[in-house]
């Protein structure tokens, strides 16, 4: 199966280092914030919304996924934009192995344009793993994505990802802060 997933996982050096040396403090504050990104964004705008770019079933052999679920035969991948006041500010990609999509977690496959963050942070069994960060240098595929959204920039874009567990079932959430997110302003 051919798809056009953004290759966030395999094309970046993901670091668990606490502080990338050349990352500005204002960006670091967003990258290492353990609270709900959805809730934080809702507090910064009048209208928060989620737009689905795509949601597909695939596997690590046929798709550019992280290596977290390489032994899984099927993975649900959801790519969305988080909007503040009609402007996309975050691109998010979630990898959910089919083994996670059982019992109550089956609804993760059908949340549509609801925020995944709301679902995760309302679940009392949710545990968030370490936050990993990555820098995407100028002219990366994420800069091309930003250009397609009429958000050009001449600086690196930063992303973070975390492995979440709900009732001990894993899923990976990767979030790229787009130029319009405001985190790059000094």
pLDDT band at 173 (very low <50, low <70, confident <90, very high): very high
Q: CA 101 to CA 76: how far, in whole Å?
A: 9
Q: What is the pLDDT of residue 3?
A: 53
Q: What is the pLDDT of residues 103-130, one digit of tens each?
A: 888 888 989 899 999 889 999 999 999 9
DSSP state of 174: E
37 pLDDT higher than 90: yes
Q: What is the pLDDT of residue 102?
A: 85
Distance, first Cα to last Cα, the chain: 43
168 pLDDT higher than 90: yes
Structure tokens at 144: 């091309």
pLDDT band at 80 (very low <50, low <70, confident <90, very high): very high
84 pLDDT higher than 60: yes
Q: CA 92 to CA 115: how far, in whole Å?
A: 11
Q: What is the mean pLDDT of residues 35-53?
A: 94
pLDDT band at 2 (very low <50, low <70, confident <90, very high): very low
Share of the chain above pLDDT 90, in %: 58
Regarding predicted confidence, which is higher, 153 or 72?
Answer: 153
Nearest CA to 183 out of 16, 42, 23, 46 is that of 23
172 pLDDT higher than 90: yes
Please answer whether residues 92 and 176 qualify as being in contact, where contact means their C-beta atoms are separated by less than 8 angstroms: yes
Q: Give me the domains of the chain, ranges plus CATH numbers.
A: 24-127+139-181 (3.40.1410.10)
Q: CA 132 to CA 174: how far, in whole Å?
A: 9
The residue whose two tokens read 């370490």 is 130
Q: CA 129 to CA 136: how far, in whole Å?
A: 22
Count of residues in the chain: 186
Q: What is the pLDDT of residue 13?
A: 82
**Which residues sit opposite 79 in a β-bridge?**
54, 93
DSSP state of 30: H
Q: What is the mean pLDDT of the chain?
A: 88
Neighbours of 1 (CB within 10 A): 8
53 pLDDT higher than 90: yes
Q: What is the mean pLDDT of residues 39-64?
A: 89
Q: What is the pLDDT of residue 69?
A: 85
Share of the chain above pLDDT 70, in %: 95
């Amino acid at each position: 199966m051919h798809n056009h997933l953004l290759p966030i996982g395999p094309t970046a050096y993901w670091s668990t280092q606490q502080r990338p040396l050349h990352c500005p403090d204002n960006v670091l504050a967003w990258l290492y914030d353990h609270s709900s990104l959805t809730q934080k964004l809702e507090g910064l705008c009048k209208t928060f919304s989620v737009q689905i770019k795509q949601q597909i079933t695939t596997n690590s052999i046929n798709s550019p996924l992280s290596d977290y679920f390489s032994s899984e035969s099927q993975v649900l991948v959801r790519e969305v934009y988080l909007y503040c006041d009609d402007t996309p500010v975050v691109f998010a990609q979630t990898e959910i192995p089919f083994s996670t999509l059982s019992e109550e977690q089956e609804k993760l496959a059908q949340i549509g344009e609801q925020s995944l963050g709301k679902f995760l942070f309302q679940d009392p069994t949710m545990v968030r793993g370490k936050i990993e960060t990555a820098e995407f240098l100028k002219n990366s595929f994420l800069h091309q994505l930003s250009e397609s959204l009429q958000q050009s920039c001449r600086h690196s874009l930063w992303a973070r990802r975390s492995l979440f567990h709900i009732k001990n079932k894993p899923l990976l959430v990767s979030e790229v802060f787009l130029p319009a997110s405001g985190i790059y302003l000094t």
